Amino acid sequence: MRLALESPPMDIKKAIKQHIEIDKFFVEGFSLKGTQIPAKQDVMPAFHDSVSEELAIIAMDIEQCCCCGLGATRTNPVPGEGNPHAKIVFVGEAPGADEDEQGRPFVGRSGQLLTNMISAMGLQRKDVFICNILKCRPPENRDPKPDEIIHCLPFLQRQLEVINPEVIVALGAHAAKTLLKTNDAIGKMRGQFIDYYPSEGAKPIKMMPTYHPSYLLRNYSVDNRKRVWEDLQKVMKLLGIKAPK
C-alpha cells in the first residue's frame, strides 16, 4: 500500500522560496564575482609608518582592555582590519560568533555580503578599513549595552582620527545612532551624507548611514538592495570611483 505524500503547507513553501532567493541575493546581488573573504594577510597591507604603528598600538590596547564584562566572555578581540590609509571606513555594530572565533570583523554570512558590496564598488577589502563600534562580541549577539559603548567608543574614535578617511559608511542603526548621537531611524538617515566629528575641534568626516548586511539578509527585497546600492553609489561618486562593468 502506497501512502500519498501531503504537500507542504504554503508557509513552508514560502519560507523555502525566500531562503533560495536570499541565497541567490547573497551570492549574486550587486553583480559579484564571488564571496570569498581574503585571508588576514591579504587585507592588512604591509605599511610600516606612523599610521599603521598607531593602529597596532590601539589594537594592543583593545586586547588588554577589561573595562566591561565583554573582555571576560570574548574568545578574541576584534579591533578591525584593512588599509591604514583607507579612504572609506565601514563601521558595524559588534562582532558575531564567527568574528569572535577568528578575531576579524565581518567574516560570517553578513561579512561575505559586505565583501560583495565592496567588490561591487570596484574595490577589495584590502582597499578599505572595516571595524565595529564594539570590539568584543556581546553574548548571544545581543544589542550593545550603554556602558559597553561608553568604554569601547574611544577606541573607534582613535582609529578614525588616525586613519582620517574621507567617508565613513555606518552599517545599521546602532552604528549610525552611536556615532551621530541621535535617535533617528536608519531609514530616515540613510541616503544622505552627514558630518561626523571624531573629536572636539576635529575636521568633520562625511558619513553615509545605510542598512547593515545582516538586515538585508533578514529582510530580503529588491527595494532594500537597491537602497543600499544607491547609498554606495553616492559614496563612489563623492570619491570618484567607477563601478566595474
Q: The whole model's pTM is what? A: 0.86
Strand, coil or helix: what is 188?
A: helix
Residue 81 inside a domain? The answer is: yes
Q: Does the structure show a pLDDT above 90 at 215?
A: yes
pLDDT of the residue at 17: 55
Percent of the chain with pLDDT strictly greater than 90: 74
Instruction: Answer yes or no: is 162 within a domain.
Output: yes
pLDDT value at residue 24? 52
Residue 106 lies in a domain: yes
Answer whether residue 238 shows pLDDT above 80.
yes
Q: Total domain count for the chain?
A: 1
> Is residue 115, in this structure, part of any structural domain at all?
yes
> Is there a domain that residue 19 lies in?
no
- Summarised one tens digit per residue, pLDDT across range 83-94 is 999 999 999 999
41 belongs to a structural domain: no
For 73, the domain range is 47-239
Whether 144 and 133 have beta carbons less than 8 Å apart is answered as yes
Q: Flag whether 70 is in a domain.
A: yes
pLDDT attached to residue 41 = 73
Residue pLDDT, tens place only, 185-204? 999 999 999 999 988 888 89
Dihedral, 60, 169, 176, 164 alpha carbons, nearest 10:
50
Residue 31 confidence (pLDDT) above 50: no
Residue 245 located in a structural domain: no
CATH number at residue 185: 3.40.470.10
**pLDDT above 90: residue 25:** no
Tell me how far CA of residue 160 lies from CA of 56, 110, 204, in angstroms: 13, 23, 11
Rounded Cα gap, residues 55 and 53, in angstroms: 5
